[in-house]
Amino acid sequence: MSPEASREQWPVSPLPVAKPLDPQRPAGGVQRAADPATLPPAVGIAGDAEDASHLAVEHIRWTMRETASFLVSLVLHVALLLILSLLIVYSPPADELSLIVNTRPSEGLGAEQLDASPLRAAGIGDSSEGADAARIEMEPALSLPTGPILFGPTESARSAGSGLDLADASLVVRGSGSRGGGFEGRRGDGKGRLIEGGGGTPASENAVALGLAWLAAHQWPDGGWRFDLSQGPCGNQCQNSGTESSTTGATGLALLPFLGAGQTHLEGEYRDVVNAGIYYLKAHAVTTSHGADLQEGTMYAQGIAATALCEVYAMTEDESLRQTAQHAIDFICWAQHSAGGWRYYPSQPGDTTVFGWQMMALKSATMAGLDVPSPVVMLAERFLDSVESGGGAYYGYITRARSPGPTAIGLLIRMYTGWDHYDPRLRRGVMYLVREGPSKTDMYFNYYATQVMHHYGGPQWHPWNEEMRDYLIRTQAPTGHERGSWFFADPHGAKGGRLYTTAMCTMILEVYYRHMPLYESKVVDDGL
């Protein structure tokens, strides 16, 4: 109905002035105690037909307004009830709702079964039937820990559930009948076969022996080492003293060549040297709520010292070392930047060089059966993604670039996190390193690049090895107090000095057995 028709049917006239009710008047409207706001417009005593008609109109209008409000309220309440009725709370059986946590390997678990176990950020999937992972049932009264859940390197976790894509965030253990990247080639009968099969020679092993002798001679009476050679056992008899002040970094770096050669605090010609060095690291580990702080000013030192502790624990299974090694790893995990990297200080945005040492420590921890939080590995891969170029074939220092040193580090960590041998990105990166060739001065680059080339193998390895091996043999100091050491004037060498350079060169010459091959197992399958 149009507004005009309405006005014709219901003439509008001014409301009459309401007259007060006469309390003595018995007829008419009855006074009520109700709230006037709730009442319809008063239908008072009509003076005439027009007034009555108007008051009737007002009453109808009030009724319609009140009815509309009621209907709106009714519809809203009905809708709410319908929504609530559709909210069905599903309560799964107790065996479905669980948090999968990988425990430490049992006493009888073989070392070859160890691996890292990742957790996808997307969440925890349904556990598979027969998985060996321990479960914490989600009872109503259960109070879950607020800290990170640590996932140990058990193989059983790899099949813990279809919702877990475990290949995306793990430090992969490879090898046929051995732990790829592991330490078992450092000792025993297989060491000689690894040397011969990989391209080592009696001359290269002699150079290793001389390097270890020089390092042992420069250990301080307190069991540690210093980059600064102006004091201590050396008494400034060697040139090219370093400037770095971290004693934990120097001690960890000096220990690594001994461990690489199979020397531990329990056996070997240098067991007393190693024992004193390990004691020094344990004594200088600062206990914090985040783990064992071994920095002494730089995360370089944290990664290096943690790597040494994890390697010696992995090689000996000496339980007296487990706690310190684990706490050193815990600190590294805590210090990681939210974008996945590490730099000089905890929580700094990462650079590739500091990143490399932390990842080597985490890899060694995985090999030792220590707990490594899978999200840490996942974030680390994201950091590499942020500095890669060429689709992942090349890497930069802190940006997407193509630089020899960062590329060598990036490729090695990609190998350890599961890149396939035939990945075209890996091949392009390896060919880039081949074109660069071994450096005459930058042993940091050579240390990582030689590992990449050794793991990758193939026809590219032997020319690289021959050039690298023979160059180091030729440049080792032959006489005097410096006999058995190396020094090259590069940015890293200037800071670390002769101690740093000697440790790095010795480890490069140990490449044949220091880590088991990641891809080529034929060298050891016949004899190990």
CB 13 within 8 A of CB 50: yes
Q: Locate 4 and state its tokens.
A: 């005009």
Report the pLDDT value the prediction gives residue 181, as an integer from 0 to 100. 80
C-alpha distances out from residue 108 to 112, 136, 151, 312, 320, Å: 12, 23, 19, 20, 19
Going 83 to 85 to 86 to 89, the CA torsion angle's sign is: positive
Distance, in Å, from the CA atom of 41 to the CA atom of 66, rounded to the nearest integer, reads 12
Structure tokens belonging to residue 36: 């006037």
Q: Is 274 helix (H, G, I), strand (E, B) or coil?
A: helix
User: Phi and psi dihedrals of 293, rounded to 5?
Assistant: -90, 115
For residue 84, the model assigns a pLDDT of 52
- DSSP state, residue 137: E
Residue 106 DSSP SS3: coil
If you search the block for the tokens 């993604």, which residue do you land on?
A: 385
Q: Give me 141's structure tokens.
A: 């009264």
Extended strands (E) in 147-293:
286-288, 291-293
Q: Please state, as a whole number, how many other Cβ atoms lie within 10 Å of the Cβ of residue 435.
A: 8
Q: Which tokens in the block code for residue 478? A: 């032959």
Contact present, 304 and 357 (Cβ < 8 Å): yes
* Angle between helix 404-416 and 424-436 (nearest 10): 140
> Which residue is associated with the tokens 């992972």?
133
Domain ranges in the chain are 98-104+111-170, 184-466+474-525
Element (H, E) at 55: helix 49-86
Would you list the DSSP string of 437-495?
---SS-HHHHHHHHHHHHHH-GGGHHHHHHHHHHHHHHHS--SSTTTT-----SHHHHH
Q: Parallel, antiparallel, or unpaired: how do β-strands 134-137 and 291-293 relate?
A: unpaired
Residue with tokens 């009520």: 32
Report if pTM > 0.75: no
3 state SS for 206-244: HHHHHHHHHHHHCCCCCCCCCCCCCCCCCCCCCCCCCCC
What does the chain come to in residues?
Answer: 528
CA 499/CA 495 separation, integer angstroms: 10
Each residue's pLDDT expressed in tens, for the chain with a length of 528 residues: 444 443 333 333 333 333 343 444 344 333 434 443 443 444 333 344 444 444 444 444 544 555 555 555 565 565 555 555 554 443 333 333 222 223 223 333 233 322 332 222 222 222 232 322 222 222 222 222 233 323 223 222 222 222 223 334 567 543 323 346 899 999 988 999 999 999 999 999 999 999 999 999 999 999 999 999 999 999 989 999 999 999 999 999 999 999 999 999 999 999 999 999 999 999 999 999 999 999 999 999 999 999 999 999 999 999 999 999 999 999 999 999 999 999 999 999 999 999 999 999 999 999 999 999 999 999 999 999 999 999 999 999 999 999 999 999 999 999 999 999 999 999 999 999 999 999 999 999 999 999 999 999 999 999 999 999 999 999 999 999 999 999 999 878 889 999 999 999 999 999 999 999 998 643 333 332
Question: pLDDT value at position 83?
Answer: 54
CATH-assigned architecture of domain 184-466+474-525: Alpha/alpha barrel (1.50)
